[in-house]
Amino acid sequence: MLSKRIIPCLDVRNGKLTKGIKFEGNVDIGDPVETARRYYEEGADEIVFYDITASHEGRGIMLKVVESVASQIFIPFSVGGGISTVADMRDVLLAGAEKISVNSAAVKTPHIISEGAAAFGSQCIVVGMDVLRVPKSEAIPSGYEIVIHGGRKHMGIDALWWAKEVERLGAGELCINSIDADGTKDGYELTLTRLIADNVRIPIIASGGAGNPQHMVDAVTTGRASAALIASIVHYGEYTVTDLKNHMAGKGVKVRRIW
């Protein structure tokens, strides 16, 4: 059995680490480079970096910040935000990332997934899905809708259909972020996570809502995720990555440990 992964997420705005709730009310809380280094030293399996306003502002990602973070960590590093072409992907990889995360651009121009996979390998392409719970309808039979541009634009696309399509196009991994749960610390949206995990063959990262160590256990057992994304509970010092992994191991979850 593969080890389950813990992945701290660095949301970055104007070069600063930031955090909000349900994609709103973001406040700056620190330096992303120093924070990434600390999580690496605590045993994080990967780091995810999102330039959260790049797509909405129609600009490229801040490559200097990417380079600075990459110089401080020696674990897989995924970068997203403002990536809309294969050339953008190449720039991010050359800046030190191992994986590229596409979200809004993938919805608007799905061929970027297959083009990126052809150029760099499926293992490099992570598709982020920002998902909102909505009433079930003919257009959205799962009751989960894809939204883009940091939760600002509803797309009328069913999340389950999109997950299957993303896999077909060549993505190597999916990051499923529940806007309803994001930043609430009430736990992951396990129904959504399990729905996607049961219907695709590629790894799933659960995202949005982690508030205590048991939530990570729930994500990788009940939710059948391969990894759990975390933010608030480590950003604000409530737990360390080490604390979370110790709890998971104590509950019988296989994790990579360095201590």
27 DSSP β-pair partners: 19
What pLDDT shows up at residue 32?
84
Cβ atoms within 10 A of the Cβ of 118, count? 12
Q: Are 74 and 40 in contact (CB under 8 A)?
A: yes
Query: Would you say residue 111 lies in a domain?
Result: yes
- For the ranges 3-7, 59-63, 104-108, 155-159, the lowest mean pLDDT is seen at 59-63
Q: Which of 221, 225, 186 is nearest to 202 (CA)?
A: 225
- Which residue range is the domain that position 162 belongs to? 5-251
Query: Please, what sign has the CA dihedral across residues 37, 66, 57, 113?
Result: negative
- Residue 24 confidence (pLDDT): 52
For residue 227, report the phi and psi dihedrals to the nearest 5 degrees: -155, 160
**Is 120 inside a domain boundary?**
yes
Q: Is there a catalytic annotation at residue 186?
A: no
Q: Is 257 within the bounds of a domain? A: no
Question: For residue range 66-85, what is the model confidence (pLDDT) as tens digits?
Answer: 899 899 999 999 999 888 89
Instruction: Identify whether 258 is part of a domain.
Output: no
**What is the rounded distance in angstroms from the CA atom of residue 194 to the CA atom of residue 111?**
26
Whether 164 maps to a domain, the answer reads: yes
Q: Is residue 58 domain-resident?
A: yes
Instruction: Report how far residue 100's alpha carbon sits from residue 143's, in angstroms, rounded to the nearest whole number.
Output: 28
The H or E element spanning position 92 is: helix 86-94
pLDDT at 56 over 90: no
For residue 28, the model assigns a pLDDT of 55
Q: What is the DSSP letter of 149?
A: T
E strand residue ranges, 211-256: 227-230
Task: Report pLDDT for 7.
Answer: 97
Burial of 102 (0-12, 13-18, 19+ CB in 10 A): buried
Residue 101 falls within a domain, yes or no? yes
Catalytic-labelled residue, pool 11, 45, 88, 91: 11
| Distance of alpha carbon 225 from alpha carbon 206, whole angstroms | 6
* pLDDT, tens digit, 9 for 90 and up, residues 179-238: 999 878 899 999 999 999 999 999 999 999 999 999 999 999 999 999 999 988 998 889
- pLDDT at 30 exceeding the cut of 70: yes
Total domains in the fold of the chain:
1
Q: Which of 45, 88, 130, 218 is catalytic?
A: 130
Percent of the chain with pLDDT over 70: 89
Of the pLDDT bands very low, low, confident and very high (cuts 50, 70, 90), residue 15 is low
CATH number for 232: 3.20.20.70
Closest by CA to 177, choosing from 120, 250, 128, is 128
Say whether 11 is catalytic: yes
Res 54: pLDDT: 60
SS3 38: helix
In a domain, 256, yes or no: no
pTM of this structure: 0.90
Instruction: Report the chain's mean pLDDT, rounded to a whole number.
Output: 90
